[in-house]
Structure 1
Amino acid sequence: MSKLSFNILNGFEKGNYFSRILRGISANMLNQLINILNKLALVPFFISNWGTRTYGEWLVVTSVVSYLALTDMGGTNYIINKLTQSFSMNREKEFRRVLKTGVTIFLILSTLITLMAIIAVKFLSLNSLLSLKYTNSYTINIVIVVLAFQVSLSLLLGLIIGTYRSIGYYAKSVMFSNLIQFLQLISVFLVLVLKKGMVAVALGQLSPLILVGVYVVWNLNRDIPKLNIFSFDEINFKEGISFFVPSFNFFMIQMSQLLVTQGTVIVVGKMLGPTAVVIYTLARTVINIVRQVLGMVMNSSKPEITRLDIQEKDSELANLFKQITQITLVCGCIVGLILHFYGETLYGLWLNNTVAFNQHLIDSLLFYILLMTFWFGFADFLMAVNRHKHLSVVILISSTLNVIFATLGANIVGLNGVVLGLIVGDLVLACWFIPYLALKYKPIMNLKTIIKQISLLLIFLLNIVFNNIFMGIITLIILMYIFIINITTNNKVTARFR
């Protein structure tokens, strides 16, 4: 295996990009499993040891502190993309300068976050502000400082771990994150078994971050000789300032997505009442699983997209983009059809038939997610190559339109109208203009492929409209055949690319 001039083992030369993406998907699947365990397995222990009141206050505190993570403002995404570009072009000095400048910025940011938390607990009555009645203020203040330090350390470590993505080891970076979350799960479980309180749980979450963080820094300095990641000899603050605008554009994209996610819940609550909110959020929870699974493929592909773009290997880039978008859309249609025909049964088993199942709502959300999968693939491409300035504005406008149309839909049709409004909002702008932005930058997909992908959406829509089980089975068989053909063909094609 070859090495670059600055003696870094090149992960992008380990196998073909298809095998690297598969390893990334596997690591992400493990990440999802650990997330599910964290959210579900620990809840009974929290409630049995603390009771619902104290556990509820813990959720309030952790939710409030988690907003501090927004201070990242998209910096991690932008800096890691730049590192990938520098590494792929064998620009040693630029790679070190960008990394050390980024680490220094995040060190300053982390320090400020922790200081803000200390000042807040010193001068504010947080128990009163957060309406906490069952936990004493001393405990709450300590927990907030510990959790704030945890968030600040997570931001810094996220950038450092992300460095592995930039040198071709995406799966390794995800596995480091998985290790932290798994150790946190074990640590919190042991604390709860020992019947300890909030402070112990907060420290239990913090300790794996510190332990893994120390190991990652040592490991990274070993893998990149003479790096000295916390040395300040190659920092360029002028360049660091230049990170702000493109990072803020990433932040705008994140906030725009949050606008749709939270905005529609507010619309449903204000116009249709709390029962409708429960039905809507539960249905969206089911559908979001589909989106998260499909997102694994694109997230695992982004370092490869960044590398191929900066190296101007446009034919390989177009081939990769065609593969991942085709596979995600076919998989989405397969899962969508299964949920369309058997969703009511699965929903009833999950909630023990305590909440009414709305077939039209589920179908509308499924089509909305598949439509988003189509156009957001082009958005992911633009973000992967740091060409997201205009994208951030378009997504903000589109998200605003989504909320407006969702409000109109709720007023005219009711709950189903909310999702119809989201679909209309996407069709008005995002569905065509974001692919246009991506194709204007580089011809990563031809018209024939676009028509094929739109045809998949229409086939799925026809199955929903006719609701015929035999038609659905035939469509599933065809989609499975297309999926197998794509996988086998792609594996042969990508074997040629190193």
Structure 2
Amino acid sequence: MGLIQKIKNILFGGHERTAKANKNILGSFIIKVVSIVISLVVVPLTLNYVNPSRYGIWLTLSSIVAWFSFFDIGITHGLRNKYAEARAKGDNKSAQIYISTTYGILAIVFITIWLLFLVINPFLDWSDLLKLSPEYGSDVSKLALIVFTYFCMQFVLRTITTIISADQEPAKASLIDVIGQIISLVVIVILVKTTEGSLVNLGIALCASPLLALIGANIFFFKGKYREFKPTFSKVKFSYAKSLFNLGVVFFIIQIAGLIQFESANVIISRNFGPADVTDYNIVFKYFGVLSMGFTIFLTPFWSAATEAYVKNDIGWIRDSMKKYNVLNIFFVLLGIIMLFFADDIYDLWLGEETVNIDFLLSLWGLIFFTVSIFGSKYVSFLNGISALRLQFWASVVSPVVYLILTLVFIEYFKMGVYALFVASVVANFNAFILAPIQYHMIINKGKKGIWIR
């Protein structure tokens, strides 16, 4: 047997579910490498185009608008589980109804929100809200409209990526995002070569490009592989919405916790330290976020595969998969330590010498934060896949409060720097490194039900 054949057997042999996951892991890895390269190129290009302070404004405004994502009420996560369950049972009719109903609900919600924002935006003083110089007022108001329009449209259009991921093919979903990134990169290069730095032009480039990719993906997949599940008005059944909402509302609360904890960071930094520090924080976040992105490549197929395995009572497959993820976890911790050791050199190589001066503590706590997140993510992914969400729900109610209180205390009373936000995030993320592993153990190893499985 040749070497190539042996590799094929390792990657694509064995259980059909595992082989499918391995194919997507390999595809996702290639796609993610391209995504990372593009991201690394886009950041310095963008910084040179609009300068660090303006880039910080873009990041801050994007974070604020992202808060409105909670209006999907977690329905796309509900769709992911319900669609996967329906396909596992061979119930394609219900699968199409769930898809059509999700598109219908999201369209109604986000069109309404967008129209309300059109009315409200002219009366908002963005310069005062973000503590910016008045000279930015007009551009920031225009940028807010651009970004808000993008977020509303993409929340409806991204339903296609949920369907693809639920079908255990996350590599294809990732490819859609990369196509959007490529378009953005091309447009930004053109802007750098032909125009002066402009927040409005930057907003158009970074918002319109991914929308074009999503529109193309919806047309391509619903005319092809998912023709049978194409959303139609006649298949929108609001009676099905109840089951989506029952599951979605729990995901909704969990999403809110994530939004408060992560999307408020840029605003807190901007108000307490300044826009330039928003840039430093996000550079560290992007740098060590590569670890999370890498681990997610391997983990993404697990959510919907776990749904299928649990429905079919294939506990052995779940247990074996978790062992492999734990071994992989150790590798990523070691990789993160190496990244920390060379962080300053890589920042200079990436962004140019003296472009930023990032404190070591900020990098250290950035690494610790992502290490904790990666550890818990495999357990959370399994629990999400089987809809065992009650403990995570209550943790999510408490977590944002813990995060905001700790952030305030660390900054105001202990005079900690920007790294205080990472410290607070680690402590507030107790579900990831305490509750979720215990819950997984009780369900899979102990066979417990009750609160553990709800």
The two structures have a TM-score, normalised by structure 1, of 0.69
Q: Is the 8 A contact 2:118 2:145 kept in 1?
A: yes
Question: What's 1:185 paired with?
Answer: 185
Question: What's 2:230 paired with?
Answer: 229
Superposition pairs of residues 205-220 of structure 1, within 5 angstroms:
205=206, 207-209=208-210, 211-220=212-221
Amino acid in structure 2 at the alignment position of 1:299: T
Q: 1:325 to 1:233 in 2, by over 3 A?
A: farther
Alignment deviations for residues 180-235 of structure 1 (CA, whole Å, 9 cap, x no partner): 22112222432443327665555545554554344323322233465473411122
Q: Which runs of 5+ in 2 are unaligned?
A: 1-15, 448-454
Question: What's 2:135 paired with?
Answer: 134
Question: What's 1:393 paired with?
Answer: 394
Q: Output the CA distance in 1 between the equivalents of 2:343 and 2:240.
A: 51
Q: Output the CA distance in 2 between the equivalents of 1:71 and 1:141.
A: 22
Q: Which moved more, 1:350-359 or 1:149-158?
A: 350-359
Q: Is the 8 A contact 2:101 2:238 kept in 1?
A: yes
Match of 1:32 among 21, 28, 36: 36
Percent identical pairs in the alignment equals: 15
Q: Which moved more, 1:52-61 or 1:180-189?
A: 52-61
Question: What's 1:487 paired with?
Answer: none
Instruction: Report the number of matched residues.
Output: 426
Superposition pairs of residues 332-347 of structure 1, within 5 angstroms:
332-339=332-339, 341-343=341-343, 346=346
CA apart distance, 1:64:
4.1
Q: Which runs of 5+ in 1 are unaligned?
A: 1-11, 446-498
Question: What's 1:171 paired with?
Answer: 171
Question: What's 1:255 paired with?
Answer: 256
Alignment deviations for residues 109-157 of structure 1 (CA, whole Å, 9 cap, x no partner): 23113212221245556677666733674x7665544433222221111
Q: 1:43 to 1:73 in 2, by over 3 A?
A: farther
Question: What's 1:153 paired with?
Answer: 153
Question: What's 1:297 paired with?
Answer: 298
Superposition pairs of residues 329-408 of structure 1, within 5 angstroms:
329-339=329-339, 341-343=341-343, 346=346, 352=353, 355=357, 357-358=359-360, 366-367=367-368, 369-398=370-399, 400-401=401-402
Question: What's 1:442 paired with?
Answer: 444
Q: Output the CA distance in 2 between the equivalents of 1:147 and 1:268.
A: 20
Question: What's 2:326 paired with?
Answer: 325
Amino acid in structure 2 at the alignment position of 1:97: I
Give the alignment's Cα RMSD to 1 decimal: 4.3
Q: Output the CA distance in 2 between the equivalents of 1:407 and 1:430.
A: 22
Q: Is the 8 A contact 2:164 2:173 kept in 1?
A: yes
The two structures have a TM-score, normalised by structure 2, of 0.75
Q: Is the 8 A contact 2:168 2:304 kept in 1?
A: yes
Question: What's 2:100 paired with?
Answer: 100
Alignment deviations for residues 412-435 of structure 1 (CA, whole Å, 9 cap, x no partner): 7967998777666667x6533222
Match of 1:431 among 427, 430, 433: 433
Question: What's 2:48 paired with?
Answer: 44
Q: 1:174 to 1:444 in 2, by over 3 A?
A: farther
CA apart distance, 1:23:
1.8
CA apart distance, 1:97:
0.7
Question: What's 1:490 paired with?
Answer: none
Q: 1:435 to 1:348 in 2, by over 3 A?
A: same
CA apart distance, 1:366:
4.0
Q: Is the 8 A contact 1:394 1:430 kept in 2?
A: no
SS at match of 1:42: helix
CA apart distance, 1:96:
0.5
Amino acid in structure 1 at the alignment position of 2:436: I
Question: What's 2:313 paired with?
Answer: 312
Question: What's 1:238 paired with?
Answer: 239
Q: Which moved more, 1:92-101 or 1:306-315?
A: 306-315
Question: What's 1:496 paired with?
Answer: none
Q: 1:433 to 1:235 in 2, by over 3 A?
A: same
CA apart distance, 1:91:
1.0
CA apart distance, 1:171:
0.7
Q: Is the 8 A contact 1:382 1:438 kept in 2?
A: yes
Q: Output the CA distance in 2 between the equivalents of 1:379 and 1:261.
A: 17
Alignment deviations for residues 57-82 of structure 1 (CA, whole Å, 9 cap, x no partner): 66665554444334334322221232
Q: Which moved more, 1:431-440 or 1:393-402?
A: 393-402
Q: 1:43 to 1:98 in 2, by over 3 A?
A: same
Q: 1:259 to 1:200 in 2, by over 3 A?
A: closer
CA apart distance, 1:407:
6.9
CA apart distance, 1:176:
1.2
CA apart distance, 1:22:
2.4
